[in-house]
Structure 1
Amino acid sequence: MGLKRILAFGAAAMMSVASLTACSGGGESESGGSGGDLAGDIVFWSSYTQGPRAEYMQEMADRFMKDHPDVNIKIELFSWSEFYTKWTTGLSTGNVPDISTALPNHVTEMIDADALVPLDDVIDVIGRDRFYETALAEGESDGAHYSVPLYSHAQLMWIRKDLLEDAGLEVPQTWDELSAAAEKLTDGSVFGLSVPMGSNDMAATRFLNFYVQSNGEALIDEEGRADLTSQAALDGIKYFTDLYKKTSPEGSVNFNILDQATLYYQGKTAFDFNSGFQIGGVESTTPDLLDAIEGVPLPRMKASDPIYGGETSNLPMVVWKNSKHPEVAKEFLKTLYRDEDYIRFLKSVPVGMMPSLKDIASNEEFLQDPYIERFRSTYDALNEVIPLGTSIGMEDGPCVQAGIIVSQGVIEKMFQDIVLYDKPIESAAKEAEDSLNNMFEAAGALN
């Protein structure tokens, strides 16, 4: 796919190392490098722009440069939206970094643009079997892996335990139970479940994806085409439009992910769907509610149905093909996975940033964290679903369509047409499906 198509159809979702042994995190030198033979200037574009995560990356760069005096690492910070614009426009001029953070859908486009170098050698040094297979698969093309997941997070249903207890309700396990509980808990001061439909975001796509996944289906079929007219998709559209009318604030028709989360942070919704980052949001907004929140598995069609993934995001690191010193970038990348440092990085947002390394998820040192101990049931729920899920649209592997379906607001507009203009569900779904497939075809993603 050419640059113009990358710019037009790229993903913008809302919203990772010197040798070391496979399990101990040890290495040949303090930085994990091969000694003092590394040299060169490298640029690291990072979207970890604030607080402890930014400080951690700078500290790791400073340590690496101290161990390798002939290396200079310059970190440049960009928000995710800025980063996407920066790298897509930079491809034509060669103004791209040596190493960077990325989003899973970015990686698909970067591979398609032949912008990255394979990282199988890095993965093998860290320990290939330490990673979740689904996380590695998101950066795979023709047998090579072009990204390394740094951390993971997955979507859960967030509940208010106090509201459920006061109403004499059990934690919902099915969609029917959720709708009944949400209706009962909507009382004028609290909304049972806000249903976000803002067209500048992917929140409605996320919600519909959960419902469709619980039916064992997907929004993109095995042939790579959008599928919004399956019975599961139509039932899901009706489910959420009904709940919008019964349990949601009217303004949620324009909510994005942050708007949606903020209502839960403020204690104004009984249920929400989000990742472990929800804990930090509640703590900073309404800390008195912290003991009343919990993340549980997503609703199922029947309580006896198995737990499913829904949506897992694996935040990757990449090394750029344009780099003059890819060997330096790779050696620095390896150091980020040394156990002691990797654990420290994850604990900068405990329960929010979950390990992409399976052995770290059960590491006793990692588990000795007050937030993990306090929210252990949520932590365990996340660990259960992380290996089961993928980014939206990547159930059958990386594809450009996955970026389009979450970035173009087509599903969100479909919901708005239904609730604001009374468009029939079937015709709105068919129109949105056709629109997405036209975009897929224009991007060269359909045969």
Structure 2
Amino acid sequence: MSISRRNLLAAGVGAGLLTACGGNTGRGGGGSGPRLSQWYHQYGEPGTEQAVQRYAAAFKKAHVTVQWRPGNYDQQTAAALLTDSGPDVFEVNGPTLDQIQGGQVVDLTGLLAGVEDDFNPAVLTPKTYDGRIWAVPQVIDTQLLYYRKSLLKDAGVEPPTTLDGLVDAAGALTTGKVKGLFLGNDGGAGVLGGTPLYAAGLQLVTDEGDVGFDDPAAARTLGKLHRLYAGRSLLLGAPTDWSDPSALVQGLTAMQWSGLWALPQVQKELGDDFGVLPFPGDGPQGRPAVPVGAYGAAVSARGGHREAAEEYVKWLWVDRTDYQQDFALSYGFHIPARISLARKAARLRKGAAADVVRFTTDHGYAQPLLWTPASQTAYQDALSRIIRDGADPDRELKAVVGKVSGELGRVKKNAKKNAKKKS
């Protein structure tokens, strides 16, 4: 199974059994020093595996072997970090609080000395805990709303700038053969995640570490997503899901939620007949919302060559800006994690790509580090019931707030225990 960077942005980590697949499929690095093992999840973009092998081979201070890991990568790495046979260096969708608090990953703050401000804060912040940086962001992936200019013009519909406007536009654009909006084959429950909450001016977790959506605005906003579903203006049962732009380019829908990675294909198929938008704001405190994510390079605390591993991470993801730009833009379409590289990239300086960079800079948010898997599952299940079944948003969210509050309390308690151990 081929897994793309885009899966990072889908809400939640899919359940599955821990697999032992993967193995040593990469050639070793050119160095004659310590032997380092580096893990990546299996990307879907052609050429990515060959690129990371090439980077590893260019590092002369260690012999780096790349492992390309298919299957449920997050579960594989979580299990491997508890053993002595795991990777020295690995990319991670996180790391998680449990991994940080459990001392499974190395503090990498010093690697970014002098360049920390050049990393986009939207993706660096979720990798920062207790004032320390635990992984170096590699690229930025983001989601956005694509729309067909010609279909909106023919229907006399303006590109929506509010959630109410999106609901109305989806209805007006729905005809016998074309649906107004595609949010995925499940109606949006799987991909939207916390985006509607941020669009309502709320958060998943506040900066103080409390529940960020214990507010009537949350129920009001999520209820409007059910209006989309119940109004039959959503495309359901498309041949491909939200991450593939085929529904938009084939004329099955006038608007589609997808990712930045889809932009080259959309541009090739539609030319200038498309535009992009952030998820529109809702309510008096509303604001546009752009979900972003980034895998990061981390170092295992149980690795046998931690100093060499840290030096390799700094060389690849801090010093070698040429490799960083190549990784972001030569295999698929992504934004470099470094602000300076994003500004230099010619492919990101005009048209829809420039709009996406601006939206990401102005409205980007990442899933907070304190948002645990248990919180994610509780919220995701409730969101699905609200959208598809018309469940009462107030009742559903009340239960979620209780679950998330308990999770945040557990996290704070663990943090106090760790602080006492250090003292």
* Structure 2 residue 395 is the aligned partner of structure 1 residue 427: yes
- Structure 1: which 5+ runs fail to align? 1-9, 15-35
State the shift of 1:271 in Å.
1.9
Taking structure 2 as the reference length, the TM-score comes to: 0.78
State the shift of 1:250 in Å.
5.1
- Structure 2: which 5+ runs fail to align? 1-10, 16-30, 417-423
- Cα displacement string for residues 334-385 of structure 1 (whole angstroms, at most 9, x for unaligned residues): 33342332222222246x310111111221xx21x4xx46x62333332342
- Identify the residue that residue 224 of structure 2 maps to in structure 1: 239
Q: 8 Å contact 2:184–2:191 — kept in the other structure?
A: no
The two structures, once aligned, show a CA RMSD in angstroms of 3.5
Opposite residue 341 of structure 1, the aligned amino acid is Y
Q: 8 Å contact 1:161–1:293 — kept in the other structure?
A: yes
Taking structure 1 as the reference length, the TM-score comes to: 0.75
* Structure 2 residue 55 is the aligned partner of structure 1 residue 60: yes
- Identify the residue that residue 21 of structure 1 maps to in structure 2: none
Distance in 1, matches of 2:295 and 2:36, equals 21
- Identify the residue that residue 318 of structure 1 maps to in structure 2: 298
Distance in 1, matches of 2:99 and 2:88, equals 13
Residues 48, 196 of structure 1: CA spacing in aligned structure 2 closer, same or farther, 3 A cutoff? closer
- Cα displacement string for residues 159-216 of structure 1 (whole angstroms, at most 9, x for unaligned residues): 11221122222211111221111101111322112345859xxx52653633321232
Q: 1:260-279 counterparts in 2 under 5 A?
A: 263-264=247-248, 266-279=250-263
Q: 1:23-422 counterparts in 2 under 5 A?
A: 39-50=33-44, 51-64=46-59, 67-68=60-61, 71-79=62-70, 82-104=72-94, 106-124=95-113, 127-196=115-184, 198=186, 203-204=188-189, 207=192, 209-221=194-206, 224=209, 226=211, 230-246=215-231, 247-249=233-235, 251=237, 258=243, 263-264=247-248, 266-280=250-264, 282=266, 288-301=269-282, 308-337=288-317, 338-349=320-331, 352-363=333-344, 366-367=345-346, 369=347, 372=348, 376-386=351-361, 388-392=363-367, 394=368, 398-399=369-370, 401-406=371-376, 408=377, 410-418=378-386
Identity of aligned residues (%): 20
Q: Which has the higher contact order (CA 8 A, sep 6+)?
A: 1
Aligned pair count reads: 386
**Which secondary structure does the structure 1 equivalent of 2:295 belong to?**
strand
TM superposition outliers: structure 1 runs of 4+ over 4 Å? 195-199, 221-229, 255-259, 280-283, 304-309, 418-422, 435-447
Distance in 1, matches of 2:323 and 2:390, equals 54
- Cα displacement string for residues 235-274 of structure 1 (whole angstroms, at most 9, x for unaligned residues): 112100010112114558xx97548x65345432222333
